[in-house]
Chain A
Amino acid sequence: MDRKLPDMDITGWVCQKCQSPLTIYQVRVTYMGASFEVELPGCAQCGTTMIPKILAFGKMLDVEKILEDK
């Protein structure tokens, strides 16, 4: 699977708790018992991850469907 995700505009977003700007880094996501690493925006300090809308209805939905059909 292509782990590069579409360009995500994270301009201006900061982590509410740490007040640090979001960066894009490798995150382990899981669904239906399968887990894998993808690049997602999030707070590098506390590890809270953001799933932007473009992902939720794009790539992430595709992957969910693939995993459901496994």
Chain B
Amino acid sequence: MEKEVLLALEDRCTYEEPPACQSRCPLHVDGRTVARRLAEGKLGEARKALDRQLPLAQLTGLLCEGACQESCLRHGLEAAVNLPLLERHVVLNSRAVKPFPMPATSNKVAAIGSSLGTLVLASELSRKGNKVTIYLTGPKGGALLAANNLIPDGVLNETLELIEFLGNRFAEAPGLTPEFLAQLLDEFKGVFIDQGDPTVKAVSLGLNPAELEIDPTTSGSTRERVFLAPTAAVPNPYLAAMVAGKRSAGSFDRLFQGVKPSAAREPERVYETTLVVDVKEALPAPKVVPSDPLSPTTEEAKLEAERCLNCACHSCLNVCPYLRNYKGYPKKYAREMYNNIITTYGNRTSNILINSCLECDLCKEVCPNAADVPAFIKKARDEMVRTNHMPASAHEYALEDLVSANAPDTAFYRPPVGAAKGERIFFPGCQLVASKPATVLKTYEYLNSSIGGVGLMSACCGAPARWSGRAVLTGTITQEIRAIYAANGQPTFILACPSCQLFFQAEIPEIPVISLWEVLAQNPPPSLIQSVELTLHDPCATRYAENIQKSARRLLSVFAPRFKEQKFTGRLTKCCGYGGLGGSANETLGYEIAKDTVKDATSPLVSYCVMCRDRFAKTGAKSLHLLDVIFPTGKLTDLMSEPAPNLTARRDNRQEFKRLALTSVWKEEVKPMAAPKEDIVISEDLWAVMEQRRVLRGDIERVIAEAAKNGPLFFNQQTGHNLASLRPRQVTFWVEYVIDKDGRYVIKDAWCHRMVAPGTPGEGAESPATLEGYARTGGRV
């Protein structure tokens, strides 16, 4: 996988971008965290967040004028969150962690004047042991002495003492002259002139007005090694002084290392964040007016902090349980998945992350930057298969099911009765046939009687091969479909399954397709109006197929006019958990996703994808397929409560559909399906367990056949149970049973595993889900 693929996704996900208040603050104070911590009642944590970016917060936190305010998203609603007020509250009610003096370096700097800029500079430089000699031109503290309304008694003195404690020194300036400046430049590595101190006049030091232009990046004057804080006449003078002190400290640091003061200053700039925040659902929150504007109560500060919108982009996380499940966000996932792919040594811990995605595109649809997680996932899965690192267990059952759906006893194609070829082929899709064989046959008969010239093809289109990253298997299946298309006069395929339709359009685009729902909407069958209220669910594969969604609505408005829309509908519809085989690789999550999708429905659901219908039914929700409404095979109230057929029944239904169609429509003689072995008894409870473990009746029959021939492997003398085992492919099956008085095999339990242990018959047989296995099933449709 190329690194560009990673970078492209990373670039589009803005989750890690700072909120506007932080990007617009010249010191990049993390206002969002300060507010969140205060809202949570965690004052100490709020202080830590403040200390991280705000130098000398015990003083500066009382003085900040809040340059962030205009960028606050609340500013556009009621009023900006009053971050300066919150900072004051934090500083007034928490103690700073007292820094420890660092061992002194030989780097020495002189500062003239002792106002805020100098104190910030000294505090910053002494963090690395660099010391400042502060030349006083007036009283210690400069302009800060006049700010006693903002600074409580004692705070300034404590700060000045701290500055000395850290190894900085105060000295009297002999008088401000050009010679004095020259002497300092001789003696020190550089000089900081704090013009915020009213007793400091830079012109007296011989600097001409041009030299007093402050470089916003370095805070430097045009004279080498001379740095400046602005006078108090600038807007937001305290903030400007803090910035000058901090930027100058950064410049001195660079000088000490022999680097230009302007080098690598990019991260310090004020910029527009790319974070996109949706404020549509923000609840109104009026500004808090504190009883004492300089010292809010804890309750007032908390209320004001709670007004913070906690700016973040959660668009995709809000709608996708899969993305929420791994506690991250697309940018983080992209890095994890990329590392997983390029791992050459160690565990690939993100396999499950890659394989659980539904590839339903909802995240891309809601993302303000259209970050395409599913496209990344597709590439990742392809790469895993290509390099032989795809876990077999993730998709093996789904692929076996695909192989079974395309095996000769199940798959078929027939042209319309009496014709050599037809203009159209009805392709219901393997899962619809597996769920509702009788309904599919009714539908086919209607198509033939209404529009005529329709052939029938029952097979799997190959979508599961694509979802699981099996490019070669995908190619093999599409070749087979192409062959039928070419040999039959290039008919149009009428597709019932929206996933088939997406797959045809992507993988076999030369074959013309039309949705069954469009055909039926244009040629509506006689209607039986259903009075029941239903909730329409759009299958995720129709997200960008507006014509199919419209057709489904046209049909419903005729057959069940009292239908309502799902909360997430149309382009915003949610997946049932089947898409991308996410639910196959991660059954637990797949089930949670189905529950999440049905939770907003207020009446029985109706979908036009049978996997949605069956997965909704598995959560206990009443649900129908749209064909149930159009061609009901029973009372709708009964159909909506029918459980989804189990895995064994699905395979039986596909075979039964072939037999039904060929005998009733084409009047062919077809051998009846091998009846289930009557001498094998499986209880209802065990069926449920087998479903969970993906053990089919056929698997049990094979193990019992082996045991009947060669005897079971083990026998329990106390319980009378036998235990037999067989490894027909990459899975070993175990069946525990007793033989009753009529000679029937009563199955007590059945389980399976992949690990190979010695002594199991059939050991080492290969999986039919490989391409070789697919070919071996041979002679398909």
- Complex formed: what's the CA distance from A66 to B352 in Å? 11
With A14-B717, A16-B711 as known contacts, state yes or no: A49 contacts B759, CB within 8 Å: yes
Q: Are A48 and B758 closer than 8 Å at their CB atoms?
A: yes
Q: Which residues of A contact B757 (CB under 8 A)?
A: 27, 29, 40, 42, 49, 51
Q: Are B711 and A68 closer than 8 Å at their CB atoms?
A: no
- Complex formed: what's the CA distance from A42 to B757 in Å? 10
A15-47 vs B, Cβ < 8 Å mask (1 yes, 0 no): 111000010000111111000000010110011
Does residue B162 face the partner (Cβ distance < 8 Å to A)? no
Q: Which residues of B contact A50 (CB under 8 A)?
A: 713-714, 723
Does residue A70 face the partner (Cβ distance < 8 Å to B)? yes
With A14-B717, A46-B759 as known contacts, state yes or no: A57 contacts B751, CB within 8 Å: yes
B347-370 vs A, Cβ < 8 Å mask (1 yes, 0 no): 111010000000000000000000
Q: Which range holds the interface residue count of chain A?
A: 35 or more
Give the residue of B391, B711, B749 whose beta carbon is less than 8 angstroms from that of A17. B711
- Complex formed: what's the CA distance from A13 to B393 in Å? 30
With A51-B732, A66-B347 as known contacts, state yes or no: A60 contacts B755, CB within 8 Å: yes
Q: Which residues of A contact B751 (CB under 8 A)?
A: 53, 56-57
Task: Name the prevailing secondary structure of the A interface residues.
Answer: mixed
Does residue B387 face the partner (Cβ distance < 8 Å to A)? no
Name the CB-closest residue of B to A57: B751
With A53-B751, A66-B347, A68-B393 as known contacts, state yes or no: A48 contacts B759, CB within 8 Å: yes
- Complex formed: what's the CA distance from A64 to B757 in Å? 13
Distance of B692 from chain A, by nearest CB (Å): 10
Q: Which residues of A contact B351 (CB under 8 A)?
A: 68-69
Q: Which residues of A contact B774 (CB under 8 A)?
A: none
Does residue B149 face the partner (Cβ distance < 8 Å to A)? no
Q: Are A56 and B711 closer than 8 Å at their CB atoms?
A: no
Distance of B708 from chain A, by nearest CB (Å): 13
Q: Which range holds the interface residue count of chain B?
A: 20 to 34
Q: Are A14 and B755 closer than 8 Å at their CB atoms?
A: no
Q: Are A56 and B734 closer than 8 Å at their CB atoms?
A: yes
Does residue B508 face the partner (Cβ distance < 8 Å to A)? no
Name the CB-closest residue of B to A66: B347
Does residue B291 face the partner (Cβ distance < 8 Å to A)? no
Does residue B712 face the partner (Cβ distance < 8 Å to A)? yes
- Complex formed: what's the CA distance from A17 to B530 in Å? 63
Q: Are A14 and B758 closer than 8 Å at their CB atoms?
A: no
- Complex formed: what's the CA distance from A15 to B734 in Å? 15
Give the residue of A27, A43, A57, A68 whose beta carbon is less than 8 angstroms from that of B391. A68
Does residue B754 face the partner (Cβ distance < 8 Å to A)? yes
With A56-B734, A70-B348 as known contacts, state yes or no: A15 contacts B713, CB within 8 Å: yes
Does residue B756 face the partner (Cβ distance < 8 Å to A)? yes
Distance of A55 from chain B, by nearest CB (Å): 8
Q: Which residues of A contact B732 (CB under 8 A)?
A: 51
Most chain B Cβ neighbours within 10 Å, of A15, A27, A31, A46 = A31
Q: Are B392 and A68 closer than 8 Å at their CB atoms?
A: yes
Name the CB-closest residue of B to A67: B755
Does residue A5 face the partner (Cβ distance < 8 Å to B)? no
Does residue B752 face the partner (Cβ distance < 8 Å to A)? yes
- Complex formed: what's the CA distance from A22 to B717 in Å? 12
Q: Are B755 and A12 closer than 8 Å at their CB atoms?
A: no
Q: Are B718 and A11 closer than 8 Å at their CB atoms?
A: yes
With A51-B734, A69-B351, A70-B348 as known contacts, state yes or no: A64 contacts B719, CB within 8 Å: no
B754-772 vs A, Cβ < 8 Å mask (1 yes, 0 no): 1111111000000000000
B738-760 vs A, Cβ < 8 Å mask (1 yes, 0 no): 00000000000101111111111
Does residue A61 face the partner (Cβ distance < 8 Å to B)? yes
- Complex formed: what's the CA distance from A46 to B755 in Å? 20
Q: Are A60 and B753 closer than 8 Å at their CB atoms?
A: yes
Q: Which residues of B contact A63 (CB under 8 A)?
A: 755
Q: Are A49 and B758 closer than 8 Å at their CB atoms?
A: yes
Q: Are B714 and A16 closer than 8 Å at their CB atoms?
A: yes
- Complex formed: what's the CA distance from A40 to B712 in Å? 18
Does residue B568 face the partner (Cβ distance < 8 Å to A)? no
Q: Are A16 and B713 closer than 8 Å at their CB atoms?
A: yes
Distance of A39 from chain B, by nearest CB (Å): 12
With A16-B711, A56-B734, A64-B393 as known contacts, state yes or no: A29 contacts B759, CB within 8 Å: no
- Complex formed: what's the CA distance from A11 to B721 in Å? 12
- Complex formed: what's the CA distance from A48 to B713 in Å? 8
Name the CB-closest residue of B to A61: B753
Q: Which residues of A contact B725 (CB under 8 A)?
A: 51
Give the residue of A12, A40, A46 whose beta carbon is less than 8 angstroms from that of B719. A12
- Top 9 A-B pairs, shortest CB-CB distance: A48-B759, A12-B718, A68-B391, A49-B757, A56-B753, A12-B716, A31-B755, A53-B751, A56-B751
A–B complex contacts, Cβ < 8 Å, 18 sampled? A11-B718, A12-B719, A13-B714, A15-B713, A16-B714, A40-B757, A47-B758, A48-B713, A49-B759, A50-B713, A51-B732, A51-B734, A53-B734, A56-B752, A64-B755, A68-B391, A69-B347, A70-B348
Chain A residues close to B by CB (< 8 Å): 11-17, 22, 27-32, 40, 42-43, 46-51, 53, 55-57, 60-61, 63-66, 68-70
